[in-house]
C-alpha cells in the first residue's frame, strides 16, 4: 500500500482504532473463519484502496472449509508469515498483502508471527483470501483486545480482501454496497435464515494458483468489457431475487439465479480484452454434465468464482444422485 | 413460414418479382457461393420474418469453401431436396427452410429438384446456410432469367438465412443494418479492398449438427441475457473499427477487434438463461493455445460463430508457424 492510500484509510480506520491500537496485546490469539461462496457475486470495485464494491453481494459460508489463523507477538524487525506450516518470503504477494493489512491496523512497532492454515486450496477460486482475512481480523481483534462490533470487523476484513467482509460468520451473509466515500457503511452482516437441507458440492478442477488474480481480473473487466456496463444492474436484481428466495426457501429460484449470476459474471470476463477465461476444458466438461443432469430432471445448479473450479448447489434429498454423478465431489452442509 | 409472414413479405418481394416470377424457367441452372465468416458478427434479429438484424456485420468469404447448388425443373407435387448426394425428407428442417424460400419466390406450380453440395460441414458453425442460400439465390436468378441487381439478390438470400446476404461474393462483404421496416435496405455489398496476405485457418472441433440452432440461440439471448443490451453498441463500434482497419491493412487492429467481437458475442450467450455455451472442451484447449502463441509473439487471432469450431486469422508470413502449432488447420487464402 502506498502512502496516499494509507492516509486515505486514516479517516475511518483511525477513528475505529485510535483508542484501541495501543492496547497491550495478548501474547497470542487465534481464530477460525469459514470460506464462503457468493450466490450473487462481488465483481468490480468502485474504489480500490478500501475494496469498495460496485454492487452488493450475498454468500453462503462453507462450514469447516476455511482458515484458522494464530497470531503471536514476536521480537523481530518484521512480521513472519507461515502458510500451512511453511514460512513465506516477505516479498511474496500473499505475505505482502497480509503485512500491509497488519501495518494498517497495528502500531508500527508491533510485529507478529502469523500462522495460517487453510483447509481449502490457496488462490484456486475457492476464496481462501476471504477466510484468510476474516480469520486474521478476528484473531487480531482478540489479540489486541479491541472488542470491536462485528460491523467494524467486517469493514476491517474487507480492507484485506473484499469477500472477507462476508466470511466472519457461518450461514448466509450479505455485503451491502454502501454509499459513503470512506466505505464505512460497506459492510456485511449475517442473514438470520437457516437452510438445513442446502448442500454445496465442491468440484476441484485445479488447485494451482491462477494466472490472473481476481483483483487484476476485475480491473481488466471494468476497463475493457463493454458488456460489464450491464453487470451492476443485473447483479442488483439477482441479489434481491436470491435474498427473497432464501426467505421463501425456494431452492429452484435461488440456485438458478445464482447460476445465472455466475455465468453472467464469467461472460463479462470473456468480453474483456485480452479475453479473460478462467474455465479449463475440465470445467466445461463438468458444466455440461450439470446441464445434462438438470435436463434429466435432477435439480442441481452450479456457480463459479474467478477460477476453474465448480461449486454445485443442491438439496439433501438429491445428495446421493449428485454423488453418483460426480464421484469426486466434496459435499458441504453449511448448516450442519 | 406461416401465412401472416407470407403476406408481410409480399410488400417488397412481390414488387421485385411480380413481373419476373412468371418467366418461363430454363430447364436447369447452377451456381456456387462461398461460405463466409463474420469478422464483426450478426447476432440478434430485430424482425424475424425478414431476418432483419439488430446491427450491421462484416465478413470475409471462404473462397473454395462453400456450396454449389444445381436446380432443375421437375414434374412432381413438391420440391425434392438433395444434400451432398442424399435425398432429404421433406419434413427435415433443412428441406423445410429451402422449400419455404422457394415458395416465397417462385410461382406455386413450379417444382424443382435442388442438388446442393457443401464443401463445409452442415450446421457446425461454418455457416453452410450462408453459402447454401446464397447459391440457391444465384441459381434461381439464373434459372428464372430474373437478372436482378445484386442488392436485390442479397435481400432475397437474406430471407433464407441472414448471413447468406453476405455470401454472394468473394472477399469482404458488409451487410448494412438498414432502416426500413420492410427490410429492403438491409442488404450486403462487397468491399473493394483486397488483402492478398490474409489467411483464415479452420480448426474443426466438431462437424455434428449443433444442439441449439443460431436462430434459437439468438432468440434466447435477446430474451434472457441482460448483457446483450450492451451488444448492439459494441457491435456497431467493432464494425467501424474493422472496416477502417481493412482500409488501412492494419492486421493487428482488424484481427484483435474481430476476436474481441466474437468473444463478446459468446459472452452474451453464456449470460443467457439457460446458459448457452457452444464451446466444447477441445475448443477451449485450442483457444488457450492461440492466446499462448500470441503471448509468445505470434500474431494469430481467433473468431468463432455459434458453434464449437475455431477460425484463426493470420497473415501469409506466419502461415508456417501457424501450421506448425496446429497440425490439423485447414488454411484458406480468401484472395487467392
At B214-256, the pLDDT tens digits run 899 999 999 999 999 999 999 999 999 999 999 999 999 999 9
The percent of residues above 90 in pLDDT, for chain A, comes to 77
Return residues 145-174 of B near A (CB < 8 Å). Answer: none
By CA distance, what is A237's nearest residue in B? B226
By CA distance, what is B295's nearest residue in A? A274
User: In this predicted structure, what is the pLDDT of residue A208?
Assistant: 76
Q: Cell match 432429404: residue?
A: B88
**Inter-chain touch A263–B279, beta carbons under 8 Å:** no
pLDDT per position as a tens digit, A179-209: 998 888 999 999 999 999 999 999 998 877 7
- Inter-CA distances, B179 with A2, A206, B47, B49, B241, Å: 54, 50, 12, 16, 21
What is the pLDDT averaged over residues A37-45?
97
CB-based contact, B316 to chain A, within 8 Å: no
Decide: B285 and B328 in contact? Cβ < 8 Å.
Answer: no
Decide: A335 and A194 in contact? Cβ < 8 Å.
Answer: yes
Decide: A51 and A214 in contact? Cβ < 8 Å.
Answer: no
pLDDT per position as a tens digit, A224-249: 999 999 999 999 999 999 999 999 99
CB-based contact, A291 to chain B, within 8 Å: yes
**Nearest CA among B46, B222, B8, B231 for reference residue A270:** B231
Q: ω before A274 within 30° of 0 (cis)?
A: yes
**Inter-chain touch A231–B231, beta carbons under 8 Å:** no
The 10 Å Cβ neighbour count of residue A174 is 20
Higher local confidence (pLDDT), B28 or B4: B28
Min distance A189 CA to chain B CA atoms (Å):
28
pLDDT per position as a tens digit, A11-21: 677 777 776 66
User: In this predicted structure, what is the pLDDT of residue B159?
Assistant: 94
Residue A7 confidence (pLDDT) above 70: no
User: In this predicted structure, what is the pLDDT of residue A119?
Assistant: 83
Residue A123 confidence (pLDDT) above 50: no
By CA distance, what is A225's nearest residue in B? B264
User: In this predicted structure, what is the pLDDT of residue A206?
Assistant: 83
Provide the pLDDT confidence category of residue B94 given band limits of 50, 70 and 90.
confident
**Nearest CA among B316, B313, B177 for reference residue B255:** B313
Lowest mean pLDDT segment, chosen from A8-12, A102-106, A153-157, B62-66? A8-12
Higher local confidence (pLDDT), B268 or B5: B268
Nearest to B267 among A233, A259, A271 (CB): A271
| DSSP helix/strand/coil, B163 | helix
| DSSP helix/strand/coil, B170 | coil
Rounded to whole angstroms, the Cα distance separating B310 from B67 reads: 20
pLDDT per position as a tens digit, B131-158: 999 999 999 999 999 899 999 999 999 9
Residue B278 confidence (pLDDT) above 60: yes
CB-based contact, B260 to chain A, within 8 Å: yes
Residue A199's Cβ-count burial label (10 Å; 0-12, 13-18, 19+) is buried
Higher local confidence (pLDDT), B94 or A11: B94
Q: In this structure, which topology does domain B3-190 adopt according to CATH?
A: Ribosomal Protein S5; domain 2 (3.30.230)
* CATH no. for B198-332: 3.30.70.890
Nearest to B226 among A234, A275, A281 (CB): A234
* Common-topology check for domains B3-190 and B198-332: no
Q: What are phi and psi of A212, to 5 degrees?
A: -120, 120
User: In this predicted structure, what is the pLDDT of residue A133?
Assistant: 97
Residue B314 confidence (pLDDT) above 70: yes
Where exactly are the structural domains of chain B? 3-190, 198-332
Rounded to whole angstroms, the Cα distance separating B101 from B127 reads: 17
> What is the overall mean pLDDT for chain A?
91
Lowest mean pLDDT segment, chosen from A89-103, B5-19, B50-64, B311-325? B5-19
The pTM of this model reads: 0.93
Decide: B312 and B302 in contact? Cβ < 8 Å.
Answer: yes
Min distance A267 CA to chain B CA atoms (Å):
4
Alpha helices in A106-190 (DSSP H): 128-144, 150-160
Concatenate the DSSP letters of all residues of B76-95 into one string.
SSS-EEEETTEEE-TTSHHH
**Inter-chain touch B275–A263, beta carbons under 8 Å:** yes
Lowest mean pLDDT segment, chosen from A18-27, A31-40, A171-180, B132-141? A18-27
First to last CA, chain A: 39
For the CA atoms of B65, B70, B71, B72, the dihedral, rounded to the nearest 10 degrees, stands at -170
For the CA atoms of A198, A204, A210, A212, the dihedral, rounded to the nearest 10 degrees, stands at -40
Q: Angle B159-B303-B253 (CA atoms, 0-180°, nearest 5)?
A: 110
Nearest to B285 among A226, A259, A281 (CB): A281
- Inter-CA distances, A169 with A151, A173, A252, A333, B126, Å: 12, 7, 25, 15, 51
Rounded to whole angstroms, the Cα distance separating B5 from B235 reads: 28
Rounded to whole angstroms, the Cα distance separating A299 from A312 reads: 10
**Inter-chain touch A281–B277, beta carbons under 8 Å:** no
Min distance B267 CA to chain A CA atoms (Å):
4
User: In this predicted structure, what is the pLDDT of residue A209?
Assistant: 74
Lowest mean pLDDT segment, chosen from A270-274, B25-29, B39-43? B25-29
Kindly calculate the radius of gyration of chain B based on its CA atoms and give it in whole angstroms: 20
Instruction: For residue B153, give the H/E element and its range.
Output: helix B150-160
User: In this predicted structure, what is the pLDDT of residue B123?
Assistant: 45
Rounded to whole angstroms, the Cα distance separating A303 from A57 reads: 14
Rounded to whole angstroms, the Cα distance separating B243 from B192 reads: 11
Q: Angle B163-B54-A279 (CA atoms, 0-180°, nearest 5)?
A: 80
Rounded to whole angstroms, the Cα distance separating A78 from A59 reads: 35
**Inter-chain touch B271–A284, beta carbons under 8 Å:** no
Rounded to whole angstroms, the Cα distance separating A124 from A212 reads: 11
Provide the pLDDT confidence category of residue A210 given band limits of 50, 70 and 90.
confident
Decide: B141 and B20 in contact? Cβ < 8 Å.
Answer: no
pLDDT per position as a tens digit, A254-266: 999 999 999 999 9
Min distance B82 CA to chain A CA atoms (Å):
34
Amino acid at each position: 500500500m502506498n502512502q496516499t492510500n494509507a492516509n486515505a484509510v486514516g479517516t475511518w480506520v483511525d477513528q475505529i482504532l485510535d483508542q484501541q491500537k495501543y492496547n497491550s496485546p495478548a501474547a497470542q490469539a487465534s481464530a477460525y473463519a469459514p470460506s464462503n461462496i457468493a450466490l450473487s457475486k462481488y465483481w468490480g470495485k468502485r474504489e480500490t484502496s478500501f475494496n469498495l464494491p460496485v454492487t452488493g453481494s450475498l454468500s453462503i459460508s462453507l462450514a469447516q472449509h476455511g482458515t484458522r489463523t494464530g497470531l503471536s507477538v514476536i521480537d523481530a524487525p518484521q512480521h513472519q508469515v507461515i502458510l500451512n506450516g511453511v514460512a513465506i518470503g516477505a516479498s511474496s504477494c500473499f505475505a505482502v498483502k497480509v503485512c500491509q493489512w497488519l501495518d494498517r491496523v497495528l502500531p508500527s512497532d508491533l510485529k507478529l508471527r502469523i500462522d495460517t492454515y487453510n483447509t481449502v486450496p490457496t488462490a484456486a477460486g475457492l476464496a481462501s483470501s476471504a477466510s484468510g482475512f476474516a480469520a486474521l481480523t478476528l484473531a487480531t481483534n482478540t489479540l489486541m483486545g479491541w472488542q470491536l462490533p462485528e460491523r467494524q470487523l467486517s469493514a476491517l476484513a474487507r480492507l484485506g480482501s473484499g469477500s472477507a467482509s462476508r466470511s466472519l460468520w457461518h450461514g448466509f451473509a450479505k455485503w451491502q454496497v454502501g454509499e459513503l466515500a470512506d466505505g464505512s457503511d460497506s459492510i456485511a452482516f449475517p442473514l438470520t435464515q437457516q437452510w438445513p437441507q442446502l448442500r454445496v458440492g465442491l468440484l476441484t478442477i485445479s488447485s494451482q494458483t491462477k494466472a490472473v488474480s481476481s483483483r487484476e481480473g476485475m480491473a481488466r473487466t471494468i476497463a475493457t468489457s463493454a458488456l460489464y456496463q450491464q453487470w451492476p444492474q443485473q447483479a442488483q436484481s439477482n441479489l434481491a431475487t436470491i435474498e427473497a428466495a432464501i426467505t421463501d426457501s425456494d431452492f429452484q429460484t435461488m440456485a438458478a439465479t445464482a447460476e445465472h449470476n455466475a455465468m453472467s459474471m464469467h461472460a463479462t470476463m470473456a468480453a474483456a480484452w485480452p479475453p479473460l477465461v478462467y474455465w479449463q476444458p475440465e470445467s466445461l466438461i463438468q458444466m455440461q454434465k450439470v446441464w445434462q443432469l438438470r435436463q434429466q430432471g435432477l435439480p442441481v445448479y452450479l456457480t463459479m468464482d474467478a477460477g476453474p473450479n465448480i461449486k454445485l448447489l443442491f438439496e439433501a434429498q438429491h445428495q446421493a444422485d449428485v454423488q453418483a454423478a460426480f464421484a469426486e465431489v466434496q459435499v458441504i452442509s453449511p448448516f450442519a
